[in-house]
Amino acid sequence: MVHAAARLRDPCGRPRVHALRARHGDRAQPPAAGCAVTTDATEQEPAPGADGRAPEPRGGSSVRPTLQIEDLRITYRGSRGEIPAVRGISLTLNPGDTLGLAGESGCGKSTVAAAVLRLLPPGTEVTGRILLDGEDILAMSFGKLRAVRWAGASIVFQGAMHSLNPVHRIARQIAEPIVLHEGIGREAAEARAVELMAQVGLPAWRATSYPHELSGGQRQRVMIAMALACSPQLIVADEATTALDVMIQAQVLRLLKQLVTERHIALVMISHDLSVLADTCERLAVMYAGRLVEHGPSREVFAGARHPYAQALSAAFPTVGDPAERRNPQGLAGDPPDPADLPTGCSFHPRCPVVMDECSTTPVTLRAARDDWQAACLRVEATAGAAAAATGEDLPAPTLLTKGDA
Ligand SMILES: Nc1ncnc2c1ncn2[C@@H]1O[C@H](COP(=O)(O)OP(=O)(O)OP(=O)(O)O)[C@@H](O)[C@H]1O
């Protein structure tokens, strides 16, 4: 079914193939009627510096952010009623920044990704602002949006097989966004496609292959080549390597990291796997029930998360880059809550191993653990001093709090 539903649009928004649309609906959402920021005091509001931006953006304070998400709230409307999937997220990426977005299934990661290119199903309510290079994605005309997709920002999905057109040869598919966005002839665009293939480690003779003739890793490389084809400022990789075997995953991640670094592209990488994100991205944001619960420098968050949920996720992946040693989240009973029926206070409190009485009544916003590091936990002040004192390798190894510590 995915195939039939997915084969709706091409990379530039024309009808063809798209895995995310198979999942989220087949049409881009029209400009949201009310893009105004909602202000619900019970919801998470961005704390000062809650976008995790470093105090001085790379390249100086005059750098215009590539992506600025401000108080993003997204509510799906369907047969199950209203599903508030994202509840007030703010993030900023400057050129060349790499951000990992982690969290258990259903916490809203893909919804954020889809919103960035306005790929959410019709009828979905979106408030807040998403600025791509200063331009408001939510308020854009369809024509402008079409121009921005692939040329300004592109997405690499998990299921390359479903995102590629099975009846077209590889070079032609990579060339398609180039033809559309740069107005050059197909022959010249296919020559560029072969160059892009070389950059992602695909030999030129593969130009005439069909997707089914490629391995999963090679197809993901094709998707990366397509994502790079029009030199976007931003790439969103949504579980782009999850389905690959460990060796290929490592290769594709290295490649992605190298290309975004060389081209100064901002990267948002989405994964369940904190260790992969910590290895690939400079910053890490952890989501729970539609909100950010932790946001800071990747390796430090991975090594010494301040939020008990982020601690549990880190403990599930004890060795960066060694999936063989991964375990299930430690010390976490229960499941993530129904987004339509969140617990009061901190949404995580029913599962929290160090819950306090006030956690069930006090809404928790992101608060500073350090100037470039925030966590949404009432206990964060208690650990902020240690975090501020520690830098890089000085940070203590993560110790997952237990009930006895409370
Ligand atoms: N098209 C949709 N219509 C209604 N609800 C949706 C739709 N897409 C997602 N949801 C709901 O929104 C919430 C967030 O889903 P989302 O896919 O963004 O989470 P995720 O963190 O990316 O999960 P996963 O890691 O499994 O992809 C979930 O409760 C999900 O059921």
Nearest CA to ligand 1 atom 17: 110
pLDDT band of residue 67 (cuts 50, 70, 90) is very high
To test the pocket of ligand 1, the residue of 109, 111, 273 to mutate (highest count of ligand atoms within 8 Å of its CB) is 111
- Domain contains 126: yes
Distance 399 CA to ligand 1 centre (A): 31
* Among protein residues, the one whose CA lies closest to atom 12 of ligand 1: 85
- 279 vs 264: CA distance, rounded Å: 18
With respect to residue 91, please indicate whether it lies within any of the assigned structural domains.
yes
For residue 402, pLDDT beyond 60: no
Helix, strand or coil, per DSSP, at residue 115: helix
User: What pLDDT is stored for residue 33 in this prediction?
Assistant: 31
Residue 383 lies in a domain: yes
- Is residue 325 domain-resident? yes
Structural domain count of the chain: 1
The beta strands (E) that lie in 221-311 are given as 234-238, 266-271, 283-288, 291-297
Q: Which amino acid is it at 218?
A: Q
Helices and strands of the chain, counted as H and E runs: 13, 12
CATH number of the domain residue 42 falls in: 3.40.50.300
CA of residue 186 to ligand 1 center, whole Å? 37
Inside any domain, residue 394 = yes
Average pLDDT, whole number, for the chain? Answer: 78
Task: In whole angstroms, give the CA distance from residue 269 to residue 63.
Answer: 22
- How would residue 114 be classed by pLDDT, with cut points 50, 70 and 90? very high
Q: Which percentage of the chain shows pLDDT scores above 70?
A: 74
| Other CB atoms within 10 Å distance of the CB of residue 389 | 10
Using one digit for the tens of pLDDT, what is the confidence trace for 26-66? 333 333 332 322 223 333 434 444 444 444 444 445 789 99
Cβ of 110 below 6 Å from ligand 1: yes
pLDDT tens digits, 213-262: 998 888 888 998 898 888 899 999 998 887 777 777 787 788 888 888 88
Atom of ligand 1 nearest to the CA of 77: 4
Lowest mean pLDDT among 19-23, 119-123, 291-295, 324-328: 19-23
| 175-211 residue pLDDT tens | 998 998 888 899 999 999 999 998 888 899 999 999 9
Tokens 């704390």, located at residue: 47
pLDDT in tens, 278-307: 989 999 999 999 999 999 999 999 989 999
CA of 105 to the centre of ligand 1 (A): 8
CB 339 less than 6 A from any atom of ligand 1: yes
- CB under 8 Å to 95, separation ≥6 — which residues? 58, 59, 63, 66, 233, 264, 265, 266
Assigned domain for 16 exists: no
Task: Write out the residue range of the structural domain in which residue 325 sits.
Answer: 31-53+62-152+230-405
Write down the ipTM of this complex. 0.97
For residues 303 and 395, the answer to whether their CB atoms sit within 8 Å is yes
Q: What is the enclosing helix (H) or strand (E) of 135?
A: strand 135-136
Is 396 a member of any domain? yes
Residue 95 pLDDT exceeds 50: yes
Nearest CA to ligand 1 atom 31: 106
Mean predicted confidence (pLDDT) in 81-102: 95
Please answer whether residues 45 and 365 qualify as being in contact, where contact means their C-beta atoms are separated by less than 8 angstroms.
yes
From ligand 1's centre to the CA of 311, what distance in Å? 23
Does residue 284 lie in a domain region?
yes
- 85 CB within 6 A, ligand 1: yes
Please tell me the distance between residue 22's alpha carbon and the centre of ligand 1 in angstroms.
13
